[in-house]
Amino acid sequence: MKFFIDTADVDAIRELHDLGMVDGVTTNPSLILKSGRDILEVTKEICSFVSGPVSAEVVATKAEEMIAEGRKLAAIAPNIAVKVPLTWDGLKTCKVLSGEGFMVNVTLCFSANQALLAAKAGATFISPFIGRLDDINLDGLDLIGDIRTIYDNYDFQTQILAASIRSANHVKDCAMIGADVVTAPPAVIKALASHVLTDKGLDQFLKDWAKTGQKIL
């Protein structure tokens, strides 16, 4: 499974990139706001060292304007994935931009039917939001499973990009279900390495080592 980092914080992306943990990046208007930077500037910087897909989102709501914004974002770098919402205008935009050879990430997906439409429109990625479904007492992981079944049934090439990831367990469960990609904040990716028994074991090893009175260096 590929790891995309859900942030516009360049330093956080670089840290994980240096460890080989970054297969791509996703951003959205909220993350751009949090970064405090210009969308074109920060996206260009991210693309300068991340070779995988970097999602940059349009903000228009009508297809004609969305297409124009998408073309401008796609011009930043060859690895831009234009991010569009799962609305009828977003699907129209997806069809046009994907037809022009651009990667398109269709976001804000909350149902299998929406995911089916996105695949038919030529989406490169579909972004189902797990955490937001959990917030309203629906199982977001069920949606990942439903999409996986539908896409496999008909050999759709659209990749399932599990989004709104809130925990390490979300990542594990998505991997088990068969999501192609998970996009998560840096803190969640780092949390994958944490386990109380690892900490406990290391603590005991260090105490025992201190008793030997030895040094390696």
Would you please indicate which residues are annotated as catalytic (active-site) residues? Answer: 83
In this structure, what token pair is assigned to residue 56? 């940059």
Q: Which residues contact 160 (CB under 8 A, 6 or more apart)?
A: 115, 125, 126, 128, 144, 147, 148, 151, 178, 179, 180, 181
Total Cβ atoms within 10 A of residue 92? 17
How open is the CA angle 186-55-36, to the nearest 5 degrees?
Answer: 65
Total Cβ atoms within 10 A of residue 205? 10
Pairing of strands 125-128, 103-109: parallel
Task: Give how far Cα 30 sits from Cα of 12, 40, 46, 90, 210, Å.
Answer: 16, 15, 17, 19, 48
